[in-house]
């Protein structure tokens, strides 16, 4: 059996790649250390989006455990557009309804999912049993959607910062559990 942990970054100051965590986000990253250390199984590998907020989310845990932090651009947030959009929520919703839809400079749902799945296929062939991935809300939802098609716009809108989902894979059986739903990060 393989276990994949998907972590959405903690509260951040913005959406750009260089956006840092807020003061509350920094506190949340510290809380993640204790939470992840209490899991009933060890984490063997950490892979993070290169975005600053993702790295800052998991760096304290990586330092605490001594696990190396691997950076992979395939976990970057999905580019919705090459330009700021005033109606980005409408565009995002449409991308979940039509997986091939995209606007100029953006990625379709299909393109972003294929990008992330390349990484997941590599990890599935590695010896590690449990891999933790740090990513972003939209990308997290697309990954979850691959394993369970019910995930879409509504599920994206209910994600929190941070958030954690566990995907257990055993042969053809897939089990998805939201781990962070009862956590308080104040």
- Which of the four pLDDT bands, split at 50, 70 and 90, describes residue 84? confident
Could you report the per-residue pLDDT of 23-34, keeping only the tens digit for each? 999 999 999 999
User: What does the alpha-carbon distance between residue 31 and residue 39 come to, in Å, rounded to a whole number?
Assistant: 13
Could you report the per-residue pLDDT of 53-83, keeping only the tens digit for each? 999 999 999 999 999 999 999 999 999 999 9
**Cut 0.75: pTM above it:** yes
Could you report the per-residue pLDDT of 123-171, keeping only the tens digit for each? 999 999 999 999 999 999 999 999 999 999 999 999 999 999 999 998 8
Is the previous residue joined to 30 through a cis bond, with omega within 30 degrees of 0? no
pLDDT score at 166: 96
Instruction: Give φ, ψ of 163 to 5 degrees.
Output: -150, 155
pLDDT score at 185: 38
**Radius of gyration for the alpha carbons in the chain, expressed in angstroms and rounded:** 16
Q: At a CB cut-off of 8 Å and minimum separation 6, what does 170 contact? A: 1, 2
Q: Which residues of 33-61 are buried (b: 16+ CB within 10 A; e: fewer)?
A: bebbeeeeeebebbbbbebbbbbbbbeeb
- Which of the four pLDDT bands, split at 50, 70 and 90, describes residue 181? low
User: What does the alpha-carbon distance between residue 164 and residue 38 come to, in Å, rounded to a whole number?
Assistant: 14
Q: Domains in the chain, ordered, with CATH? A: 2-178 (3.40.50.1240)
Q: Tell me the angle at which helices 52-65 and 23-37 cross, rounded to the nearest 10 degrees.
A: 40
> What mean pLDDT comes out for the span 161-184?
86
Greatest C-alpha distance within the chain: 45
In this structure, the dihedral spanned by the alpha carbons of residues 29, 35, 38 and 41, taken in order and rounded to 10 degrees, is: -80
pLDDT score at 15: 87
Rounded mean pLDDT of the chain? Answer: 94
Say whether pLDDT at 183 is over 50: no
């Amino acid at each position: 059996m393989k276990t994949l942990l998907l972590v959405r970054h903690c509260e951040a100051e913005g959406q750009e790649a260089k956006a840092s965590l807020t003061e509350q986000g920094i506190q949340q990253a510290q809380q993640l250390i204790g939470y992840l250390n209490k899991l009933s199984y060890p984490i063997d590998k950490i892979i993070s989006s290169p975005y600053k907020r993702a790295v800052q989310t998991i760096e304290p845990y990586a330092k605490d455990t001594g696990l190396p932090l691997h950076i992979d651009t395939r976990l970057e947030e999905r580019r919705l557009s090459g330009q700021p959009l005033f109606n980005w929520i409408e565009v995002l919703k449409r991308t979940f309804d039509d997986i091939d839809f995209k606007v100029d400079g953006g990625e379709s749902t299909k393109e972003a999912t294929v990008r992330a799945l390349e990484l997941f296929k590599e990890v599935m062939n590695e010896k590690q049993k449990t891999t933790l991935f740090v990513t972003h809300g939209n990308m997290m939802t697309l990954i979850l959607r691959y394993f369970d098609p019910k995930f879409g716009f509504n599920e994206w809108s209910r994600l929190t910062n941070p958030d954690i989902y566990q995907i257990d894979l055993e042969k053809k059986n897939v089990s998805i559990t939201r781990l962070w739903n009862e956590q308080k990060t104040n």
